[in-house]
Amino acid sequence: MERLTSLDGIFLAVEDAVNRMNIGSAALFDGPAPSVEAVHDVFAAKIPLVPRCRQRVREPAGLFGPRVWIDDVDFDLRDHLHLRSLPDPEALEETVAELLTRPLDRARALWEVWIIDGLSGDRWAIVAIVHHCMVDGIAGSDLLSVILDRSPSDGTVAPEAWIPTPEPSRRAFARFSVATAVRSGIAHLRRGTEALRHLRRSWRHLRDISTAAKRLWYHQGRPRTSLTGPIGVRRRWTCAAVALEDVVAVRDALGGTVNDVVVAAVTSGFRELLLARGEPVEGRVITALVPVSLRGAGERQTPGNLVANVHALLPVGEPSPQLALQAVRDHLEELKDSHEVEATGLLLHIGDYVPRVVADHIARKILRGQRNVETVITNVPGPRSPRYLAGRRMIAGYPIAPIGGHVRITVAVWSYCDRLHLGITGDRDTVPDLDHLQRAITRGFADLLAAARPPRSDPDLGTSAPHLPEP
């Protein structure tokens, strides 16, 4: 048995028919598509490298006790691999939106992989859906890197024989729960003793965290936008890609980081979306939740969620792409010293300090009651060299992120080889213009590149302008 972290448990606790906490990716490959048996052999050989993929969650029998990972004694890889043929070569986005809202069977390991054929251009896809309690964005990227090969000639090896650990008895589970509670209590006692020994330092730290928490959750008087509100059970999903070298060119010319450029382009996209909806943007900002990885150098292959969040204010009222990037860059730099990471980390891991049932209740109240966050932007670095599955080269990989609570749109970004891939999720009932946002974000990157590389006017050569590839 292994206890779920507090944050992993929260993703299970807040899930319901409206708030599906599934994440994943849609990876496109050169064709022709391999057989299901060939894909099965690849996964059978690689799954032993990721033990979590053969485990399931055991819920406590009563109100108290931890959720734990145990071996899925009935694990059958065929239950998790599925084949689907598209009725229309352009129907991949609709298929992803549908799969994103399918409930994963909690009696099994919490993941599914769909082999999708019938795409145009002799291509096929792998759509992987994983419950958020298993991985965050970085862990999901690492998981994909483990499953995929670095060379088309990498052969599959015979899977090792696996003997699952029998499911623990009630008595064993009770002993584990008591031992876990005792260890947690000792850890809290040590932390409390250390805080009392350095009272002044502890007080300053608590004051800084409290200030950051107030800044996070209390934004008085900010006008509402159509980006937030009740959501339904159905989703939309769309994707796009931009050249990484162009994003790097913007960074080098205008300053900041690649992530600053991404956030600025997304800001431009939301500005255009709000204008198209007839909503005022002058002098306005919107609040984006931006996950921050807490993984150390030796924790890249660690499953689960090791993240905190900051709340970034996106200057949608700024019409100049260059000035918007400067504002984003300065604001994100300021957030690094604002203790927001500690404040959200304390909240996200509140289950380490209060009983599980209390933590679950608080998490549900926050998800369904908060109104400050208007979108989520997550940016995860991926491999810079090609990856392969069953000898076929992966040509693109688009991230899939959930929406929940009153947040109607999320934007996920994943880098692979020489491109940034965007996956944008929206509520089907209230976001009919998700494709408009996707095109607007792509134009946001193009506008930034134009600001970084002003067109050259020459009476003989005419005017040349930078070009971003079509999605």
What residues are labeled active site?
Answer: 132
- Among 65, 72, 271, 35, CA closest to 156: 35
Q: Which stretches of 3-75 are DSSP H helices? A: 6-13, 36-46
- Among 332, 201, 346, CA closest to 263: 332
Q: Is the peptide bond before 32 cis (omega within 30 degrees of 0)?
A: yes
What is d(CA 428, CA 446) in angstroms, rounded to the nearest whole number? 27
Residue with tokens 């999720």: 425
Cβ atoms of 232 and 429 within 8 Å: the answer is: yes
Query: What is the distance in angstroms between the CA of the first residue and the CA of the last residue of the chain?
Result: 45
In sequence order, the 6+-apart residues with CB closer than 8 A to the CB of 236 are 93, 97, 425, 426, 427, 428, 431, 434
Cβ atoms of 143 and 135 within 8 Å: the answer is: yes
Q: Tokens representing 150? A: 């670095």
DSSP character for 304?
B
Other CB atoms within a 10 A radius of the CB of residue 141 amount to: 22
What is d(CA 237, CA 438) in angstroms, rounded to the nearest whole number? 10
Cβ atoms of 422 and 269 within 8 Å: the answer is: no
For 461-471, b/e burial (b = at least 16 CB within 10 A) is eeeeebebeeb
Other CB atoms within a 10 A radius of the CB of residue 24 amount to: 29
- How crowded is the C-beta side of 80, counted as CA atoms within 13 Å? 27
For 408-447, b/e burial (b = at least 16 CB within 10 A) is bbbbbbbbbbebbbbbbbbbbebbeebebbbbbbbbbbbb
Give the burial class of 346: count Cβ atoms within 10 A of its Cβ; 0-12 exposed, 13-18 middle, 19 or more buried: middle
What is d(CA 449, CA 321) in angstroms, rounded to the nearest whole number? 9
In sequence order, the 6+-apart residues with CB closer than 8 A to the CB of 350 are 6, 359, 362, 363
What is d(CA 398, CA 376) in angstroms, rounded to the nearest whole number? 16
DSSP character for 224?
P
